[in-house]
């Protein structure tokens, strides 16, 4: 598999989209996630965090019933939780990028992401940080260290 494309996040929605892709992937093929991605983007209103954070049971039920998305209720709920948490951290730190860079480096950021956000394991957090253009160790090096631990 080739490396995912990196982005220059222009808004919190870009961060939420990148994180959500990593949230939907565990237990699935990237091909499935990519095939459903347009439907997921539409269901989550282009990942506008203010809109997603306000989703209630009705919106969650509608997304869970939508065949154009990955219909894992826990992952759908995780995206809503993650939108709320991103908004809180952005307010606290002034920007989401400032939050990401407030942990003294990759390992601290990785650990904090896993604490703050749902359905974001080590590999998902690495993927997210890579995609949004944060400094990460080379993948092979990280895998070797991660698997040795």
What are the DSSP calls for 57-76, one per residue?
HHHHHHHHH-TTS---HHHH
Structure pTM?
0.94
Q: What is the pLDDT at residue 9?
A: 97
CA–CA dist 101, 30 (Å, integer): 28
CA–CA dist 12, 95 (Å, integer): 9
- Over the stretch 51-74, which tens digit does the pLDDT of each residue have? 999 999 999 999 999 999 999 999
As to burial, measured by CB atoms within 10 angstroms (0-12 exposed, 13-18 middle, 19+ buried), residue 5 is exposed
The CATH-assigned architecture of domain 12-148 is Orthogonal Bundle (1.10)
pLDDT > 90? residue 1: no
The pLDDT confidence band at residue 148, using thresholds 50, 70 and 90, is low
Chain centroid to CA 17 = 6
CA–CA dist 77, 13 (Å, integer): 17
Domain ranges of the chain: 12-148
- Over the stretch 62-108, which tens digit does the pLDDT of each residue have? 999 999 999 999 999 999 999 999 999 999 999 999 999 999 999 99
């Amino acid at each position: 598999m080739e490396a995912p494309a990196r982005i220059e996040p222009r808004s919190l929605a870009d961060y939420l989209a990148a994180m959500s892709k990593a949230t939907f992937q565990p237990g699935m093929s990237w091909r499935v996630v990519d095939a459903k991605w347009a439907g997921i983007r539409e269901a989550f209103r282009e990942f506008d965090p203010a809109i997603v954070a306000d989703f209630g049971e009705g919106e969650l039920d509608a997304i869970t019933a939508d065949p154009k998305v990955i219909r894992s209720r826990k992952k759908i709920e995780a995206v809503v939780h993650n939108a709320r948490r991103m908004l809180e951290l952005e307010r606290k730190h002034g920007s989401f990028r400032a939050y990401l860079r407030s942990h003294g480096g990759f390992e601290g950021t990785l650990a904090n992401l896993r604490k703050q956000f749902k359905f974001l394991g080590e590999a998902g957090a690495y993927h997210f940080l890579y995609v949004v253009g944060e400094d990460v160790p080379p993948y092979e090096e990280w895998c070797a260290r991660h698997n040795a631990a």
